[in-house]
Structure 1
Amino acid sequence: METDPTPILQEMQALAEQARLFLLSLTRPGWRLYQIGILLALAAMVQLAARMLRPRLHDWLRGREGWPKWRLRASLILMRRMRLILFVLAAWALTFVMREITWPSRSYLIGIAATLATAWLLVGLATRFVRNPLLRRLVSWGLWVYVTLYILGLTDQAASMLDNLAVTFGEVRLSALTLLKAAVVTGVLFTGARMISRGSAARIRADEDISPSMQVLIVKVVQVALYGAALFIGLKAVGVDLTGLAFLSGAIGVGLGFGLQKVVSNLVSGIIILLDKSIKPGDVISLGDTFGWINALGARYVSVVTRDGKEYLIPNEDLITSQVVNWSHSNEFVRLDIYFGTSYGDDPHKVREIAVEAAKGVGRVLTSRPPVCHVVGFGDSSVDYILRFWITDPTEGLTNVRGAVYLALWDAFRDNGISIPFPQREVRVLPCSRMHTGPLPD
């Protein structure tokens, strides 16, 4: 690994000399110094005007309740940049007036300040389309630095300095300029790949002829292909020799393979789940004590939402290696069983008919697959029955439909004089023939 700091120091010395000469010119009386004073006064006036206008605009926006959300968001974004907007308007107006009444050189710095402020304002507004906060901040600062250097005419010096800041691995030379170009190009390509993947994912999910699991698999394959192509195209576009990095990437890959065995296992398990269609979004599953429906299939985990609103992120490997009950794998029919008992004085034939009719009256119980009731035993205090019925919407809950059937049985038994017994015990106190007054035996 080799690097020569001499060119970098020369570039830095040249930039420092330019900055020194510019600052030295500001110490002498003249129009450069006057323009700096005018810009400071203009900034103070803009700050005062923004403080006066902000409360009024805020109250005005509060009264716009009927506006669409996008218009309100745009208004808030503009209000937050009110000072910069006022400075841009005032600086350009002042530049135009001074160029009309005096020499253009006497408004040169004011024009540069107006151009810089305009560029910064446009960058701030354009980067609002980047949703990720961290990425938006990085893009904003990068564009601000670039437009500043471009307007000041320092792009060549900055590019030369970054190009000299390089390291060499054998025949591979990596400079800061190359890495920066690669980051910018790949960032743009990644943004394009993200937009394309979102559009294609929406179209794939809208196609009802494709099963949900295949939709997830196709979307994942498209995303991996687009992002992978964006990465390799971006690196090749800036001249990075990927063959030279093959050995390094292979060594890193071996290290990651040992350190990320679980992650790789979950990734492979996720692909297997999508291919064999064992589970899909919307299925109701039971895994251990977890019962819920599948909300989403991820690359590393499956999101399962329970009835109480908890969302469990179950690793894909657990779904492959553990016993999973899929209540809606081949069809949506789910059979539920409830147990009850009646007294021995009630006719069991009549009890069975009443129980079946009561279950049919519950809204979620299927009548196409009618409920059945059977005697399952003779208990100490009751004749025991099992009532079986079918539903097709397990995602709506199982406990609530069981409770509704129990309530229907209660009402039906009360109306027909069917009693539900409970165990009764008698306690008899027998009189003692004689009282024992001696010591208790050991």
Structure 2
Amino acid sequence: MDFFLLSSLADAAIQQALLAMLVSIAAFGLGQMVSRKLGPALVRWWKAHGPGKGELPVRPICTVLRLSVALLILMVATAIGFEELSAQIILAVATGVAVGLLVHRFARSAGTGRVIATLLGLVAFVAAIAGVLRGFAPLLEGLNAAGFSVGSRRVTLLGVLNGLLVVALLFIGTRLAIRLIGRSIDQAGGLDRYQRVLIQKLVAAAFVVVAILMGIDLLGIDLTALAVFSGAFGLAVGFGLQKTFGNMLSGLILLMDRSIKPGDVIVVGDSFGWVNKIGVRAVSVITRDGKEHLIPNELLMTERVENWSFSSRDVRIRIALTLPYATDLDLAEQLMIQAATESPRVLAVPGPNVWLRSFGERGFDYDILVWIRDPEQGVGNVQSDILRRLWRLLQENAISIPLPQREVHLHARSEGGNAPRR
């Protein structure tokens, strides 16, 4: 190992590359030292003797000094000349970095926007590298020569940079396309908010899949060697995530057919509340107690669901009541209608109604029927408000609520016989 390292260091190309790297690091280091010493002093001198005696910002001045000193040292090193291509590429890249950062700093100081300043810096970076190397051919040749072999394939620095560039361009292009199409969908008429969100998600997923397939094709990745492994892995994932994919598809179906929408009031089993959102895996239902129930999407597709606001938000509430047989029915029904009408959440059209349901054990069994338009605000509070108003009206009119009555018969056996006593 030591012999291999010594023999590698003895190579002229490696020696010059190391020397060029040390020169580049030293150039930026000396620039940092000079900027720390001369920057504040130059600002103080300008403040005391400059035209108008205005103030200069310290940080931009120090940045310009650091990059200028580094660029000067790199230009001197480039003029001296390095025979090996690797050393020339290192000095060219370092020079390009210094020039690009200087152009970016001057552009920002001149009031140019961040995006424009970054583009100008990139152009200056590429132009500086091309100027130092007298064209891009030496750069591409050096990047292609730097690499290592893995089995039958050779990994080069040019290939790695090419792959990174392809991934970056596909990522930026996909993001821009998704954003543009998303804006077009938002401006499209005839779609509600939830349908637009669904279409945007489907379009985004389609663009991501297309971008991945294009990236695999452009990079020349061979997936045939992974065919067996990917098949077994896909089968395992399919069985393991069967419920997950079922819930995802169910969520898409719910959004498409709009049978359940955010804001609907639904009843699923023992869960009653309004739909907060429809997620990828579950539907969020918030109850009147403030609890959030996460119901799997697949359950909403297979189980019985009561949607109180599917076709209309009007919901009828049934309130049971029992009055004694001695009650004046006309007066009692009038009081029940009055109590229901005075409740603020009860609709006037259709108005409250009263039904005599049966003759019960304790008296007349009635149902008070009222309609509301905001079931997400609860139904128990409406029933409580109507019953409280009705209780006051019944007391004012001397009408009582029948209490349960039971007759209890006590039987006792005599000492000499079986005759009961009452």
The TM tier, using the shorter chain, reads 0.5 to 0.7
1:292 to 270, 273, 285: 273
Partner of 2:237: 256
Which residue, 64, 72, 75 being the options, matches 1:92?
Answer: 64
- The 5-angstrom pairing of residues 392-403 of structure 1 reads 392-403=373-384
Residue 364 of structure 1 aligns to a residue whose secondary structure is coil
Which amino acid in structure 2 is aligned with residue 37 of structure 1? M
Deviation at 1:340, TM superposition (A): 2.3
* Aligned-residue offset at 1:250: 5.1
Does residue 1:39 correspond to 2:11, yes or no?
A: no
1:98 and 1:173 mapped to 2: Cα distance? 29
Matched, 1:329 2:310: yes
1:195 paired with 2:179, answer yes
- Give yes or no for the alignment of 1:160 onto 2:114: no
- Is this contact kept in 1: 2:324–2:401, CA < 8 A? yes
Relative distance call for 1:275 and 1:425 in structure 2 (3 A) is same
Which residue matches 2:83?
A: none
Does 1:372 find its partner at 2:353? yes
Change (3 A) 1:355 1:312: same
Say if 1:267 and 1:316, in contact at 8 Å, map to a contact too: yes
Q: Does 1:409 align with 2:390?
A: yes
AA aligned opposite 1:271: L
Task: Report how far residue 23 of structure 1 moved.
Answer: 3.5
How far apart are the structure 2 equivalents of 1:419 and 1:89?
Answer: 92
SS in 2 for 1:292: strand
Q: Specify the structure having the higher radius of gyration (Cα).
A: 2
RMSD, aligned CA: 5.2
Aligned to 2:89: none
Unaligned runs of 5+ in 2: 1-7, 43-56, 79-93, 409-422
Residue type of the alignment partner of 1:320: M
Q: 1:20 to 1:412 in 2, by over 3 A?
A: farther
Provide, for residues 282-305 of structure 1, a one-character-per-residue CA deviation record: whole Å limited to 9, x for no partner: 221111222222233333322323
Aligned to 1:301, which of 276, 282, 297? 282
The structural deviation recorded for 1:187 is 2.1
- 1:339, CA displacement in angstroms? 1.7
Aligned-partner residue type, residue 401 of structure 1 = V
Give me the whole-angstrom Cα distance separating, in 2, the residues matched to 1:418 and 1:96: 99
Give the SS at the match of 1:370: coil
Q: Is the 8 A contact 1:372 1:389 kept in 2?
A: yes
Structure 1 CA distance, aligned partners of 2:284 and 2:242?
A: 21
Total equivalences in the alignment: 353
CA separation in 1, counterparts of 2:306 and 2:29? 80
Q: Within the alignment, does 1:185 sit opposite 2:169 as a pair?
A: yes
CA pair 339-89 structure 1, distance change in 2 beyond 3 A: farther
The match for 2:339 is 358
> CA–CA distance in 1 between the matches of 2:406 and 2:15?
102
TM-score (norm 1): 0.61
Partners of 2:142 and 2:295 in 1: CA distance: 49
> What SS does the corresponding residue of 1:340 show, helix, strand or coil?
strand
Secondary structure of the residue that 2:266 maps to in structure 1? strand
Shift of 1:214: 4.5
Name the SS of the counterpart of 2:212 in structure 1.
helix
Amino acid in structure 2 at the alignment position of 1:38: V
CA distance in 2, matches of 1:283, 1:215: 18
**Structure 1: how far apart are the matches of 2:407 and 2:310?**
52
Whether contact under 8 Å (1:279, 1:326) holds in the other structure is: yes
Measured after TM superposition, the shift of residue 365 of structure 1 is: 1.5
